[in-house]
A and B are shown apart, each in its own frame.
Chain A
Amino acid sequence: MYIYKTGIAQVDGISGGIEAGTNILLLAPSMSSAEQLAYALIKPVPGEFSIVLSTNERAAEVVDFFKFSGCDKRFVGVIDAITKSSTPGIADTPRLMFVSSPTDLTGIGIKFSNMIESIFEGTFSDGESGLFPPPIRFCVNSISTLLMYRKLEVLYQFLHILTAKQRKIEGFALYLLNNESFDDRTLSLIKQLMNGVIEVKVDGNDNYFRVLGLKGVKADWLKFSVNKGQVTILP
């Protein structure tokens, strides 16, 4: 089974990385570095692909992050649920797809399937890795925004299907959720769909994370920073 490296020794150390088919909820307060951490974790290494479902920033900004992180943007796809509301005529490309709003779960589902299909068919970008199934990292940034547009019960069903698809294609997926904005029921319902949780907290100017539920990974709080897509564990 494929193992997704995170580049963080404390996470990769024992099991070698994240097992294929893993879904992780990234719980974080606002004003933390959670989004940067998420992008750093789903940055594709050579031979992999990444897809971001962006509900709170434009595709161009997401792609910029990956570009400045030094990874090959040909292997990064973005499903953008923001831009089309202001630019209705914007056209899809194989790696940048647009849906009208975060309300449009039909559109999001279709674009996700289309992107996965093009990766499997080898039409997503030139220089395919040849690995099968192709390793795909996926990130939703964030569930919080989707929850503003759709009811929890509907979103739960949508995520249930999305997480099942990740398992089927042996991907690795991260779902951001602001843990300050939602009640315990919401958090626990969404946690049910996940294999593990990464919690982020902010103490003063410092960011910390801990990993819960992943085999062989200690649940200690780790102080971290993210610079150019690299996560550094600080003393």
Chain B
Amino acid sequence: MAGIDDMLGGGIPRGSKVLYSMEPGVNGQLFMISTIYEALAKDLSCLVILPHTTVDAFMHDAANMRGAKLELTEKKIAFIDMIDRERIQRSAPTRAAAENEWRARITKLCKENQVEVIFGYFDVICEDFGLEAGFNLFAAHNPGNSPTVILEHLNFEGDQILNRFIDTLSFDLVISIKASFGKQPHFNFFTIVHTSWAPLQKRAVPFIISNGRIVPYIPKIIVTGPPESGKSTFVASVSERGQSVDRPGLSGSSTTVAMDFGWLHWKDFDITLYGTPGQPRFDLLFPMLLKNAMGAVIVIDATKPDSLPRAKHLISLVQERRMPMVIAANKNDLPDRMGEAEIRTALALDKEVPVFFISSKKKDDVRFVLESLVDFITQYPY
């Protein structure tokens, strides 16, 4: 999950304790499945604990979700499944005996296979033994060489149980996976609730499932700015698909009279761009266009100081929504452009708002702006 790995600063460090907490009904099983596939692709020795299903059913479901079979040839992977759990339940007369039997099996498999990653579907184990005793079954089998432990848990209890994973069990990464459910369109989102290795802000990111992959989704980035600052060119340069609704303007060049629309898949994110018209007579549309946007690019013409008051007004509308924003100072390739200090003063910008000098005709320039905005969105303290 490259987009998520980027948000985590490169991925999950070895030896970490990771929780994928799933709200009931959310289609988030692919988080765990993707991590298993990735571990196997890296030739890590894995133990997968499936107390809710059989190995065959799991393999079939995983292949269906991922769109590719779990190739086990020459891969080091061991399983404990529902049938094993039933055997333990039948043979162990008490809870303590069952706990011992579980521990013995996990320890044996860890030693035999030199397991580096344990994947556990945790809610049934948690129900059988409680949170701490259940988790202890996964921990400390090989003193000095702790495997990475990755759990998927069906969360009925909300943040309360997440705090126990973080505070009591010292989990290194907690990702909460949720979904909207109601009469409105359904959508899924994940929140990186906690990381022990990076001071990430807690934030929710929508995701879609596409070709067996989790794809973080930025449903709306607004591209706005004064008239003829280069917004349509910006959207067109960066998009894989798009449409602009233009009319000839007074200056002879075209001006946007409805909006620009663009879509791109980039750095494992699906991103949709909405370019607004720049003229004040369309300001009525602006609140609607800003609604539910996750970030904004303000495009200004760096050669036209007289357009900055208009840009400042648009910035104030964006700031009211407290959303991440970057400034793209366009026409960097033309003479007599303003300097950064002049622009910052004229626009009264906070120092954390970045200003990029670009030519919106250059794909690399606009992609760099977008990359910075995506980083900003995924790390923004909402």
Contacts and interface: CB of A to CB of B under 8 A. Distances in A.
A binds B: yes
Interface of A: 84-85, 88-89, 91-92, 100-101, 103-107, 109-110, 112-114, 116-117, 120, 132-133, 150-151, 154, 157-158, 160-162, 165, 168-170
Nearest to A100: B53
B19 to A, nearest CB: 14
A176 to B, nearest CB: 20
A154 B186 contact: no
A100 B22 contact: no
Given A110-B25, A154-B127, A165-B181, 8 more contacts: A85-B54, A88-B60, A103-B52, A105-B24, A109-B154, A113-B181, A168-B183, A169-B181
A110 B60 contact: no
Contact of B26 (A85, A100, A110, A151): A110
A87 B121 CA distance: 21
Interface in B59-105: 59-61, 64, 82
B183 A106 contact: no
Q: How would you classify the secondary structure of chain A's contact residues: helix, strand, loop or mixed?
A: helix
24 contacts: A88-B54, A89-B60, A100-B54, A100-B57, A100-B61, A103-B52, A103-B53, A105-B123, A105-B154, A106-B29, A106-B52, A106-B152, A110-B26, A113-B25, A113-B179, A113-B181, A114-B27, A120-B183, A154-B127, A157-B157, A158-B156, A161-B25, A168-B181, A170-B183
The residue among B24, B29, B82 with the most chain A CB atoms within 10 A of its own CB is B24
A176 B127 CA distance: 24
Contacts of A158: 24, 156
A154 B52 contact: no
Given A110-B29, A161-B25, A89 B186 contact: no
Contacts of B10: none
A113 B27 contact: yes
B186 A88 contact: no
B124 A103 contact: yes
A103 B64 contact: no
B123 A117 contact: no
A84 B55 CA distance: 12
Contact of B123 (A101, A106, A113, A169): A106
Contacts of A132: 183
Given A100-B82, A106-B22, A88 B183 contact: no
A104 B56 contact: no
Nearest to B156: A157
A165 B186 CA distance: 13
The residue among A84, A106, A151 with the most chain B CB atoms within 10 A of its own CB is A106
A119 to B, nearest CB: 11
A165 B53 CA distance: 25
A150 B185 CA distance: 31
In the complex, the 9 A-B pairs of residues with the closest C-beta atoms, listed nearest first = A100-B53, A88-B56, A157-B156, A113-B25, A88-B57, A109-B25, A109-B24, A100-B57, A104-B52
B199 interface: no
Contacts of A169: 181-183
A154 B29 CA distance: 20
B69 to A, nearest CB: 12
Nearest to B27: A110
Contacts of A133: 183
Contacts of B54: 85, 88, 100
Contact of A113 (B26, B121, B152, B154): B26
Contacts of A116: 181
B27 A84 contact: no
A85 B27 contact: no
B120 interface: no
Contact of A150 (B82, B127, B157, B179): B127
B376 interface: no
Contacts of B52: 100-101, 103-104, 106-107
